[in-house]
């Protein structure tokens, strides 16, 4: 009951904050010269029709040879290698990973939450208000 009520209040507060932020941006955009209005509205997610929607690789990513990655496949390979090194180079299939996770959950019991760890409504309200 407490979480349901808190969730409702949280959604109301988020909606209010979003409306307040949009109003603030609109007021600031109204005072700008015409050439700056579009730039200001971009912070609300406004995109120009001329901007392409396709995914572009990040220019800052370098491969092993120090060359900039030119396409998405090369970027993905660099990230794959990076995470392989973090995980000691072990490549695991999706099915194997799911099986390992399932086995681990069967052996170990999930942690039980303690009542003193739960937030009160007052704690939640204080955390959300500036």
In a domain, 93, yes or no: yes
Mean pLDDT (whole number) for 47-69: 70
Cα–Cα distance, 58 to 67 (Å, whole number):
12
Q: State whether 42 and 66 are in the same domain.
A: no
Q: Is the pLDDT confidence value at 54 over 70?
A: no
Residue 36 or residue 3, greater confidence: 36
Q: State whether 27 and 49 are in the same domain.
A: yes
pTM value is 0.34
Q: State whether 104 and 59 are in the same domain.
A: yes
Q: What total number of domains does the chain contain? A: 2
Cα–Cα distance, 80 to 86 (Å, whole number):
10
Cα–Cα distance, 24 to 16 (Å, whole number):
12
Residue 28 or residue 113, greater confidence: 28
Q: State whether 5 and 47 are in the same domain.
A: yes
In a domain, 36, yes or no: yes
Provide the residue range defining the domain that includes 106. 54-110
Residue 58 pLDDT: 53
Q: Is the pLDDT confidence value at 76 over 80?
A: yes
Mean pLDDT (whole number) for 2-6: 69
Q: What is the overall mean pLDDT for the chain? A: 79
In a domain, 124, yes or no: no
DSSP secondary structure code for residue 59 in this structure: T
Residue 117 pLDDT: 74
In a domain, 120, yes or no: no
Q: State whether 66 and 46 are in the same domain.
A: no
**74-78, 88-92, 93-97: which range is least confident on average?**
88-92
pLDDT-derived band at 99 (thresholds 50, 70, 90) equals very high
């Amino acid at each position: 009951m407490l979480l349901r009520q808190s969730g409702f209040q949280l959604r109301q507060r988020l909606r209010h904050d979003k409306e307040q932020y949009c109003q603030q941006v609109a007021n600031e955009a109204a005072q700008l010269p015409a050439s700056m209005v579009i730039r200001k509205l971009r912070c609300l997610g406004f995109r120009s029709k001329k901007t392409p929607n396709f995914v572009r690789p990040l220019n800052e990513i370098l491969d092993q040879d120090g060359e900039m990655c030119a396409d998405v496949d090369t970027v993905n390979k660099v990230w794959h290698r990076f995470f392989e090194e973090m995980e000691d180079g072990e490549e695991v299939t999706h099915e194997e990973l799911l099986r390992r996770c399932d086995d681990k959950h069967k052996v170990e019991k999930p942690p039980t939450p303690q009542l003193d760890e739960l937030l009160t409504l007052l704690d939640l309200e204080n955390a959300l208000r500036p």
